[in-house]
Amino acid sequence: MSIHSKNNKMNNRLCLSVFAIALFGLLLATTPVLAQTSPNIVVILVDDAGLMDFEPFGGEARMPSIQRLADQGVRFSNYRTSPLCAPSRAMLLTGVDNHLNGVATIPEVIPKEHEGKPGYSLALEPGVKTIADHLRAAGYRTYMTGKWHMGRRVQDLPVSHGFDRSFALDASGADNWEQKPYMPYYTTAPWYEDDQPATLPEDFYSSAFIVNKMIDYIDADNNTADKSAQPFFAYLAFQAIHIPIQAPREFTEHYDGVYDQGWHVLREQRWQKAKQLGLIPADAALAAMPEGLRDWQKLSDEERRFYTKAMAVNAGMLEAMDHHIGRLINWLEQSGQLENTLFVVTSDNGPEFNDIVNTAGIGLWKVVSGYNSDIDTMGEKGSLASIGPEWASAAASPNKMFKFYSSDGGIRVPLIIAGPTIPQGTMQSSLAMVTDITPTILDYLGLPASLSENDIGITGRSLKPVLNGSREQTYGPSEAVGLEVAGNAALFKGQYKLARNLPPHGDGIWRLYNLHKDPGETSDLAEAEPVVFSTMLADYQQYAATHGVQSMPEGYDALEQIKRNTYKKLFSAYYFYIIPPPLLLLAVLVWLIKRRRRGQ
């Protein structure tokens, strides 16, 4: 072989080696690579808890576990979510506005005019990626336990949206002690493990089970050689404190006497506490309760006893949930995983106002379903209770209204972020939105959104700059941020908020507020500042057009829509039992008429 040939072979090998090294380098540059120290991520979502329901924000319930996280992290005092559960969950998990991700509203309140419209499929639509999708692509283990409420077809369940393991409830709520529904809209409590219908254990209590199952999932993979080195993402979506409010007696008893003075006093107490904590200015006014609500002093002794106990159970349910969150934290600590775990703790919307016990026609269903409303055993197995609109208004204090509505009582909720490199024991007043959670986690980990050509882009923003102090605000004073669910809408811009609420507790009129001076939304500035009002109204109309917000049917009322949708659902489930009796009766009448005519 000639020297020339040998040199050519050596050159070819050298070129191939250089090409291989370059290709490897390119792959490293374009593919997210997890460091051994990449933090675990735990997202905890509470159901229907208002801003001051959390102890770190001034609430009465004992929540030492969440208080510990607040003390070790940052509390966001101006965080906004949507006024309803499923849209909030979809936005939290995707970072995408609810009208773009497919969960514009919830099945219980959707009018027939919106069914099937783009963004109104009520399940995550093609091209929408969850935080679990992003993290699994980056090498994370991913788990979900608790309430899902975004569809029960296999393609809708968590297992089809980035979660390795899941135990999920596809309903707005369910009983916390047994596998049964909490309202006539549902015929069962539809739980699923991964992609299969699941049965709950005999010793089920929702908060305990959600934590137990999560620990089981994480621990099983911790003991698997090929997964133990991977960090994990855990999403725990609690049923507390959604209807029905239920808690073990030992937690409820901690609140004997706490709420004896009634809802008017609690509203005032939380309002004053909010001033002390710096949640609102010292001179901020307190909004009036919605019209038509009851006066505590005009209730009978029995009614006051009932609602006092209801609020005690509500607080007990929060404490029970916190107790089980504490078990998760202790387990992570004992297994050496806690120090390298980022926690995000928040709520899906404000306090629930529906008083299910006093809903027309609920009595027969309650008996058939094995529920009671006894005061002495309230919150225990078989109990059906809720706090009602008056307590919901008090719980939402110092904010106006409650769940379902775009007033801050429905959308201003707690947010706590704690973990490695997060400042400790601080309060952050910058505006933050539910769509900001996913981009914040990705930014915190240094991961790209990894969207393909047909994927829906994230609409939220990372909160990391305000967390690390490199920026004071996530949204500038001239940037408009909108939200809408079931016709209840809001738009934030600088110090101003534009809001509209529909019946039964709203009137459909757009109002303008200066939240810096008036966080209770007590003074409408629409006439006093017409330029700001008209500009923000135009901003909202642009938001609605670009995000595909459907206009509401004339005369829409959420509670009336729930009734219509419930009747339709019941007929669909029980038509075989409903139709034959009238047909049989009609046949008998026809036969009797014919027989009578023959006899004449």
pLDDT at 34 over 70: no
Dihedral, 276, 280, 284, 287 alpha carbons, nearest 10 = -110
Give yes or no: residues 388 and 501 share one domain. Answer: no
Residue with tokens 């387990």: 331
Cis amide prior to 248 (ω within 30 degrees):
no
The total of structural domains in the chain comes to: 3
Residue with tokens 């208080």: 67
Give yes or no: residues 362 and 509 share one domain. Answer: no
The pLDDT value recorded for residue 570 is: 59
The pLDDT value recorded for residue 21 is: 35
Lowest mean pLDDT among 120-129, 308-317, 543-552, 582-591: 582-591
Give yes or no: residues 418 and 494 share one domain. Answer: no
DSSP reduced 3-state for 191: strand
412, 355, 392: which is closest to 88 by C-alpha?
A: 412
Q: What is the span of the domain harbouring residue 484?
A: 480-547
Could you tell me where the beta strands, DSSP code E, fall in 223-300? 232-237
The band of 567, judged by pLDDT with boundaries at 50, 70 and 90, is: low
Q: How many CA atoms lie within 13 A of 90 on its CB side?
A: 31
Q: d(Cα 15, Cα 311) in Å, to the nearest integer?
A: 75
**Residues with a known catalytic role:** 85, 149
Query: Which residues is 484 bridged to in the sheet?
Result: 489
The pLDDT value recorded for residue 6 is: 40
Give yes or no: residues 498 and 581 share one domain. Answer: no
State mean pLDDT over 79-86: 98
The band of 574, judged by pLDDT with boundaries at 50, 70 and 90, is: low
The pLDDT value recorded for residue 25 is: 39
The band of 478, judged by pLDDT with boundaries at 50, 70 and 90, is: very high
pTM given for the model: 0.89
88-112 residue pLDDT tens:
999 999 999 999 999 999 999 999 9
Q: Which helix (H) or strand (E) holds 404?
A: none
Is the CB of residue 218 less than 8 Å from the CB of residue 231? no
Is the CB of residue 84 less than 8 Å from the CB of residue 531? no
pLDDT at 24 over 50: no
- Give the tokens for residue 173: 């709520």
Give yes or no: residues 175 and 321 share one domain. Answer: yes
Give yes or no: residues 365 and 500 share one domain. Answer: no
Q: d(Cα 513, Cα 500) in Å, to the nearest integer?
A: 11
Please write down the HEC assignment for all residues of 417-440: EECCCCCCCEEECCCEEHHHHHHH
pLDDT: which is higher, 184 or 90: 90
Residue 383 gets which letter from DSSP? Answer: B
Residue 253 gets which letter from DSSP? Answer: G
Q: d(Cα 321, Cα 37) in Å, to the nearest integer?
A: 30
* 543 domain residue, yes or no: yes
The pLDDT value recorded for residue 20 is: 39
State mean pLDDT over 173-201: 96
The pLDDT value recorded for residue 29 is: 38
Lowest mean pLDDT among 23-27, 189-193, 357-361: 23-27
pLDDT: which is higher, 358 or 114: 114
126-180 residue pLDDT tens:
999 999 999 999 999 999 999 999 999 999 999 999 999 999 999 999 999 999 9
Give yes or no: residues 288 and 193 share one domain. Answer: yes
pLDDT at 348 over 50: yes
pLDDT at 486 over 70: yes
Residue 289 gets which letter from DSSP? Answer: P
Lowest mean pLDDT among 115-119, 221-225, 328-332, 585-589: 585-589
Which CATH number goes with the domain that contains 519?
Answer: 3.30.1120.10
pLDDT at 1 over 50: no
pLDDT: which is higher, 1 or 199: 199
pLDDT at 326 over 80: yes
State mean pLDDT over 423-449: 96
Which CATH number goes with the domain that contains 200?
Answer: 3.40.720.10
Residue 262 gets which letter from DSSP? Answer: -
* 27 domain residue, yes or no: no
Distances (CA, A) of 566 to 184, 261, 571: 7, 36, 8
188, 193, 250, 201: which is closest to 217 by C-alpha?
A: 193
Please give the mean pLDDT across all residues of the chain. 91
Residue 36 gets which letter from DSSP? Answer: T
Give yes or no: residues 405 and 501 share one domain. Answer: no
Q: Percentage of the chain with pLDDT > 90?
A: 82
Please write down the HEC assignment for all residues of 125-181: CCCCCCHHHHHHHCCCEEEEEEECCCCCCCCCCHHHCCCCEEEEECCCCCCCCCCCC
Q: Based on the number of CB atoms within 10 Å of its own CB, is 231 exposed (0-12), middle (13-18) or buried (19 or more)?
A: buried
Q: Which helix (H) or strand (E) holds 224?
A: none
The pLDDT value recorded for residue 9 is: 43
Task: Count the residues in the chain.
Answer: 600
The pLDDT value recorded for residue 211 is: 98
State mean pLDDT over 389-398: 98
Q: d(Cα 118, Cα 104) in Å, to the nearest integer?
A: 9
Give yes or no: residues 543 and 567 share one domain. Answer: no
